[in-house]
Chains A and B, each alone.
Chain A
């Protein structure tokens, strides 16, 4: 158990819909990262928040947005969903802001299926 909690674990929805994925980081971790893993693809970095502020942005679509709340949990909002958005979405957390020391702790992921 990494201490990172993601909900829901599975989500099935239709094209054009909007969903929200939620992540609670490990206790004490200030950074939250979102990654997308599509079929046979590596983990694609989407966005990072540190203590409530956006710290880094990756290949995140304009239809996607995220935020980190004062209690440090984070939500990833995916709108106008397309079939290609079907993927595993991972949240990870770390204590610091750089996240490059290897100490990224991942949740179990949220599997999104768009039909």
Chain B
């Protein structure tokens, strides 16, 4: 039962353009959502989060949007930079429960 789904295994974007990574979830009890970024040979690192009481959270070039009615969240990166090339994991939690991760999307920024 995949409660958090990232349906795009990979995404290629030109440098300077906007990267949009998508994530869908099925558990309506999820109330906290996060994005993690992972470089090769490193562990995932926390990028940005959003509580279910909000629909947008912005941190520099990164913005996360939450659409609760559609059970969908997205991460926007603008402008995209070569250093943004990594695997991005969406994660969600319900209350004090464990984080549930999606399968990840490999983002490649082309110069």
A residues adjacent to B (C-beta < 8 A): 2, 4, 33, 35, 40-45, 48, 56, 58, 90, 92, 97-109
A104 to B36, CA, bound (A): 10
CB distance from A60 to the nearest CB of B (A): 12
CB distance from B62 to the nearest CB of A (A): 13
Quick one: CB contact mask for B32-45 with A, threshold 8 Å, 1 for yes?
10101000011111
Interface size bracket, B side: 20 to 34
Cross-chain pairs A/B with CB under 8 angstroms, 27 sampled: A4-B43, A35-B101, A41-B103, A42-B89, A42-B102, A42-B103, A43-B89, A45-B98, A45-B99, A45-B100, A58-B98, A98-B95, A99-B93, A99-B98, A100-B32, A100-B93, A100-B98, A102-B46, A102-B49, A103-B46, A104-B99, A105-B43, A105-B46, A106-B36, A106-B43, A106-B45, A108-B41
Count the A-B residue pairs with Cβ separation under 8 angstroms: how many?
Answer: 65
For residue A4, which residue of chain B has the nearest CB?
A: B43
The binding surface of chain A is classed by DSSP as: loop
A97 to B43, CA, bound (A): 20
Q: A42-B101, A43-B91 are in contact. List 16 more A-B contacts (CB 8 A).
A: A40-B103, A43-B89, A45-B99, A92-B43, A98-B95, A98-B96, A100-B32, A100-B93, A100-B96, A100-B97, A101-B49, A103-B46, A105-B46, A106-B43, A106-B45, A108-B43
